[in-house]
Amino acid sequence: MRTIRPPAALLHVAAAVAFLACTPLPGSAQDKTSEEIEKYRRVLAEGNPAELWEARGEALWSTKRGPHNVSLEKCDLGLGVGMVKGAYAQLPRYFADTDKVQDVESRLVSCMVTLQGFTEADAKMNPYSAPGRHSDMEALTSYIAAESKGMQLNVPIRHAKELEAFELGEQLFYRRAGPHDFACSTCHGDQGKRIRLQELPKLIEPKEAQQIFTTWPAYRVSQGSVRTMQHRLYDCYWQMRHPQLDYTSDTAISLMVFMAKFANGGEINAPALKR
């Protein structure tokens, strides 16, 4: 059991946020700003509130729940029944029992249905927390991701369905639509670009993809919660003026496989801390 000191962690966050909010931007501030944001990330990293999500997820994993009143400890995340360590570093991947490529969240849904007896609708009911309402999926994902910390991302793209997911993800990455004509590639196709002051990773560039893909889930300061990769994609499509992306949709998973191809080899450092 790791030690958690929530008050200290949260104080760090509060102090860093206050520091950032109160620091005036000097005249030639563009590069300085990135530096400052980097500094603020370092300060925050010393006490990431995501540790609270990890602890809650760890407890949830072994809690008997659902109509069958069993825990998730028999869930196979890809490395065998009950193997959590390292599993996140190899997701998404193909699972024979569902005959689908699944990410950590869709796999959790499968386990909640088959092991615990939840309906699929119940398992997917609360994927994203809101003020005053926890999400078990965010907690479980945080725990599972943390169990791969320091390992190399090694998402398999070998099985026919994994290869297909990659290809379809690639197709969608460049797909422009909606009132603004946006595709994923509009913002993530070039190096060194920004929206306002937010730097944009080029997701087909291994160095940049690695840094991004290996740091989700993350505690997002702007949202006051851990968010998962499913939410990250949902949020991208929101900003792209697309409708609500279905939770654990194949569209989301294919885009993850596409990104993972470039991110493979990066070191897992999740849950991380982000804006």
Please give the residue ranges that form the binding site for another protein (CB under 8 A). Answer: 25, 29-30, 33, 158, 160, 163-164, 167-168, 171-172, 174-183, 185-187, 189-190, 192-198, 200, 238-239, 241-246, 249-252, 254
Strands (E), the chain: 93-95, 100-102, 193-195, 198-200, 218-220, 225-227, 272-274
Q: Which is nearer to another protein, 33 or 154 (CB)?
A: 33
Alpha-carbon separation of residue 122 from 9, 66, 172, 233, 248 (angstroms): 33, 10, 29, 22, 14
Q: Which is nearer to another protein, 111 or 187 (CB)?
A: 187
Q: Which is nearer to another protein, 122 or 167 (CB)?
A: 167
- Give min distance, CB of 215 to another protein, in A: 22
Angle, CA 195 vertex, CA 190 and CA 198 arms, to 5°: 100
* Identified catalytic residue from 75, 111, 184, 236: 236
- Give min distance, CB of 154 to another protein, in A: 17
Strands (E), 77-170: 93-95, 100-102
Strands (E), 147-220: 193-195, 198-200, 218-220
Q: Judge if the upstream peptide bond of residue 92 is cis by omega within 30 degrees of 0.
A: yes
- Give min distance, CB of 252 to another protein, in A: 7
Residues 224 and 155: their CA atoms lie apart, in Å, by 29
Q: Which is nearer to another protein, 65 or 242 (CB)?
A: 242
Residues 206 and 167: their CA atoms lie apart, in Å, by 17
Is 236 an active-site residue?
A: yes
- Give min distance, CB of 202 to another protein, in A: 12
| Residues noted as catalytic | 236
